[in-house]
Structure 1
Amino acid sequence: MRACHALLAATLAVAVLLVPVGAATTAGAPAVQQTPTPQVDDGAPPDRPVEVLTLADDDANRSATRETTLDVGPAVGAATDAAGHELRTIRALARVRGADDPDAALSREFDRIGARAAGLGRQQRSALQAFADGEADARTTLLVLARVDRAARALENRRERVVTTARGEGATVPSERSVALARELGVYTGPVRSQVAAALSGAEPPARVYVSTTPRGVTLAALTESGYVRETYRGDLRRVDDASLTRSAARDAVAAAYPSLWRVRSAVDVDPARVSTVRMTYDGGELAATVGSRNRRVFRDAHRQSLGVAGTDRQAVNTRDGFRLVVNRSYAGGPMRIQLRTVDGDPVAADLTIGPEGGESSPVGTTGPDGERWLLTPDERFTLVAIRGNTVVFITMDPLAAPRTERP
């Protein structure tokens, strides 16, 4: 746990160990041989920056990486929640159909949905605070966020169906209020939350998820079969008033926050409102950034990227005794590419573990028949270990500085 979210660049320390596992060493510790000329970089931000929203520097935070797999308890709970949401939606539709005044009935249903959205906000804030304070573990926090995501999507489905039914009954739909509700609910959803919910229910393969929270914000990241997904919410930057942003104002806010991405954009779509969402596509990725109308700041973003775009060229390379270990480094929560090959270029399959420097490591899979593996980067100095038979190779390093948005 760190007292501050800022991840300062530090000098990379690299050590390589190639000894038989279990061999006798002084005081029971393996003898470490320094690589004569390790190739390292200076820890600066990635050379191909894809700007990301980061958590507040002045808020205490806590981070962890957790494997999400099928969990019978949460899966049953999700099915029960879905049935409950559908029943409440059916009742809402019946109230609108049976109302003498469909306009008033629609307004009341909007009130109910708004109250539930506010409840989701309180539930999320409580979960973020508990994790940041060390009172909840990563699994519990991810379960809550996945449940909030499912509930928000169910409420959005209810809003759409209620609006359609009310129109059929002759009601005049207040479009601004309807859109505002949709935007509010969208704040509590995200691609990583959805991935977590699907993995817990068995609908998607297991995934390792990075989670970092402050009392007012959260960053989630995951590696999927299709690439890298990341989402960040900053409650401290959320400032909304009654006036809607224009399309140009929303575009300008995102262009200022993500200058590198803006320069290579291929398409932009803007949904103007009090809470505006700007969607941008570029070669190998997508960005959805949400902007508040009062301060015109991005307070939420979601990225989907191919690994080729999300990865970096910042390498730590070590060659010794016929093995060449390469780590394409990244920032906290970012994807790092691991390669283990012989000096002749042949891939080497090896077991991998990762953990804090000097601390306990956890298994994270293997490099596979191609000698490669993608992992999520921890937010503190860590040691990556590759084990092939009786040979152990390890590298200790710091994460890179994040390619932060310009505002903040």
Structure 2
Amino acid sequence: MRALPVAVVILLLLAPVAGVIPPAAAGTQDSVGSSDALDSVGSTPSAPTSAAPASAAPPSLALDGGQSHPAPQQVDDANLTFRTLSTPDGVESRTGSTARGANIGPSLDFSVDEANAAMETAGVVQRIEGAETSTERQRRILAAINQIERDEVSLNSRQTEAFSAHASGELSNRELLDELVRIAATAREYDQRLEELDALAEETDGFSSPTRLDELQVALQVYEGPVRSHALATARGETGPADIHVASTSESIVLSTIVDGEYVREVFRVDRWDRGGGSISNDDAIEATSAAYPETASLREPDAFGAGSVQRITIPHEFGLLRTFVSGGTEAVFVEHQRIDLGTFPDTDSVAEAGDGFNVTVDRSYAGGPVTVTVLDDETGEPVSDVTVTKSVGDGDSRAIGSTDSDGVVRTLSPASSYRITVVDEPRVVVVDGIEPIATPSPIENGTASNG
């Protein structure tokens, strides 16, 4: 492979930016991309839920960008819950939310970083292909793999520093998300570089890729995530604006958002990753995930992919998808990605208020979870559309979360503290006050629900 010509580099820089400001958003770009408000500081409690028996069927694998849903299984709705990792129990966390929208500045920065990384990969390949002997070619391939190993260590330190800086207030929500998007993009490029190195190794006489290449590829995937991907897409104008919930401690992060009728969540727990913990088998990683998420594991048989000290477990099911990364040593889930269909999201509790001809129901959830507001006509019971709904946290100002759709529904994300929902259709107003988030349905550890 030859180094990229200047024209190609220019195209790499410009292509993603062409969609930064869609016509409908051109007038609101600045305001949409700059909102960054904290909800509260505190810890989120956990609550146990009952487990369901295990059953299995071969799953169809899904990508982070979406999933194909397998045929439904028989599920006991009364026991259905989707457990989720969160920040550690008993550790104070910084929580908040930020509005993400098309933003040409970060989008250009991301594109420049991607182009530079692609050029670096092209240079590595060119140096290997320029080796005059098979021995020298092998040496250069191994040197390139060694360099990526060192780069992954640096990437891990960089991410942990970002977690800590956000938790201490040094980084805003927006700045944290931008950094995590960059880290994910860097990890993807390292992964692609390893693919190139693997192909070059296969083409080299008397040589094959070392086992640690596969191990390194799985380890790099932990730095990617569905919320980070969506944050990048919104910055580039490839999708509409979105609110993103953020919670952090010095060694953990929780990100969540709502995308196309799904609740999307990713969690990273540095404290549960034993980087020197040794190998873990597919079966042990599946067992760890199934024990932690028994209800989800009962929907479909988990699929394992990995090598060495990190295993990736995927459970696609009729309600969405669960993906975990399990560490050797701790044999604990340290990264979690989830997608859950909002139409069947079970972890809610309803509060209601009637007045001024409206009947308003708020299906509250845990901190960072999806909240559904439904507005019906108090006399007919019919949905009321195009009604403005606002949310305020604590003593903060109200902020519009949207207008009800044809089903009388609008959705938002739950803050970590008490909040108020207001339905406004001048001169009619209904307020649902003092709404508290419910307890987070934590994974099972040693027979008890815990986010330890």
Report the TM-score when normalising by structure 1. Answer: 0.86
Aligned to 1:69: 101
SS in 1 for 2:184: helix
What is the 5 A alignment of 1:186-335?
186-241=221-276, 243-265=278-300, 268-312=303-347, 314-335=349-370
Letter in 1 for 2:400: P
Distance in 1 (alpha carbons) for counterparts of 2:173 and 2:350:
29
Partner Cα separation in structure 2 for residue 340 and residue 172 of structure 1: 66
Q: 1:70 to 1:161 in 2, by over 3 A?
A: same
For 2:364, give the aligned amino acid.
R
How far residue 198 of structure 1 moved from its aligned partner, in angstroms, is 1.1
Shift of 1:253: 0.6
Name the Cα RMSD after superposition: 2.0
Closer, same or farther: CA 113–319 of 1 in aligned 2, 3 Å: same
Instruction: Check the 8 A contact 2:352/2:432 in 1, yes or no.
Output: no
> Percentage identity across aligned positions?
26
Find the counterpart in structure 2 of residue 346 from structure 1: 382
Among 159, 174, 181, the residue aligned to 2:216: 181
Q: Match for 2:421: what amino acid?
A: L
Q: Is the 8 Å Cα contact of residues 183 and 223 (structure 2) preserved in structure 1? A: yes
Aligned residues: 372
User: Tell me, what secondary structure is at the counterpart of 2:392?
Assistant: strand
Choose the corresponding residue for 1:57, options 40, 64, 89: 89
State whether structure 2 residue 121 is matched by structure 1 residue 89.
Answer: yes
1:401 aligns with 2:436: no
Note the C-alpha offset of 1:143: 0.8
Contact 2:285 2:304 in 1 (8 A): no
Partners of 1:309 and 1:206 lie apart in 2 by 24
Q: Check 1:273–1:143 CA distance in 2 against 1; reply closer, same or farther (3 A cut).
A: same
Gaps of 5+ in 1: 10-45
Is the 8 Å Cα contact of residues 219 and 232 (structure 1) preserved in structure 2?
A: yes
CA distance in 2, matches of 1:181, 1:61: 31
> 1:56 Cα shift?
0.7
Deviation sequence 1:279-334 (CA, Å, 0-9, x none) = 11222111111111111011111001111233545211122242100011111111
In the aligned structure 2, how far is the partner of 1:304 from the partner of 1:244? Answer: 28
Contact 1:352 1:385 in 2 (8 A): yes
Aligned mates of 2:208, 2:436 — CA distance in 1: 54
Residue deviations 1:118-164 (CA, integer Å, cap 9, x gap)? 22222212221121111221111111111111111111111111211
CA distance in 2, matches of 1:47, 1:73: 46
Kept in 2: contact 1:67–1:208 (CA 8 A): yes
Q: Residues 386 and 297 (structure 1 numbering): CA distance in 2 closer, same or farther, change over 3 Å?
A: same
Q: Could you give the per-residue CA deviations for residues 191-250 of structure 1, whole angstroms, max 9, x where no partner exists?
A: 100110111111222211111111101010110014111010000011144642122111
Go from structure 1 to structure 2 and tell me whether the alpha carbon gap of 1:229 and 1:170 turns closer, same or farther (over 3 Å shift): farther
CA contact (8 A) 1:277 1:290 kept: yes
C-alpha distance 120-243 of structure 1, shift in aligned 2 (>3 A):
closer
1:130 aligns with 2:168: no
* Distance (whole Å) between structure 1 residues aligned to residue 46 and residue 276 of structure 2: 35
Alpha-carbon distance in structure 2 between the residues aligned to 1:213 and 1:336: 21
**Aligned partner letter, 1:301:** E
Please tell me the residue identity of whatever aligns with 1:389: E
Q: In the TM superposition, what is the alpha-carbon distance from 1:58 to its structure 2 partner? A: 3.2
- Alignment-derived partner of residue 142 in structure 2: 107
Shift in CA distance, 321/362, structure 1 to aligned 2, threshold 3 Å: closer
Deviation at 1:187, TM superposition (A): 1.3
Q: Does 1:5 align with 2:43?
A: yes
Q: Compare 304-313 and 135-144 and name the one that shifted more.
A: 304-313
Contact (CA 8 Å) 2:82, 2:347: kept in 1 or not?
A: no
Contact 2:277 2:327 in 1 (8 A): no
CA 132–362 in structure 1, closer or farther in 2 if over 3 Å, else same: same
Q: Is the partner of 1:299 in helix, strand or coil?
A: strand
Distance in 1, Cα, partners of 2:212 & 2:418: 47
Match of 1:165 among 200, 210, 217: 200
State the secondary structure of the residue aligned to 2:339. Answer: strand
Q: Secondary structure at the match of 1:265?
A: coil
Asked if the contact 1:355/1:384 (under 8 Å) is kept, the reply is: yes
Out of 395-404 and 202-211, give the one that drifted further: 202-211
1:173 and 1:355 map into 2 onto residues whose CA distance is 59
